[in-house]
Amino acid sequence: MKRIWFILIVALFSNLAFTANKEGRFVQKDNLFPRVEITTSLGKVTLELDRSRAPITVNNFLTYV
């Protein structure tokens, strides 16, 4: 019985991993300086990312936002 539950849980999480959106919803491919707003308990912080200096890092960060 435990084995069946284990297989079902693994299948569920595998399905979720493969159907997840690989690219962020708000990735701005044509914008060299995209802005991201982070809201914390102490207030809002706005970040301006520089895609011309670090394109891979900016794209990676935007996929996680």
CA distance 59 to 40: 23
pLDDT digits (tens, 9 = 90+) for 5-35: 888 787 777 766 555 555 555 666 778 899 8
The residue assigned the tokens 């999480």 is 13
pTM > 0.85? no
pLDDT digits (tens, 9 = 90+) for 46-56: 999 999 999 89
Show the beta-strand stretches assigned E in 2-64.
35-40, 43-48
pLDDT of 44 > 60? The answer is yes
Q: Which two tokens stand for residue 30?
A: 């044509």
| pLDDT at residue 48, rounded to an integer | 92
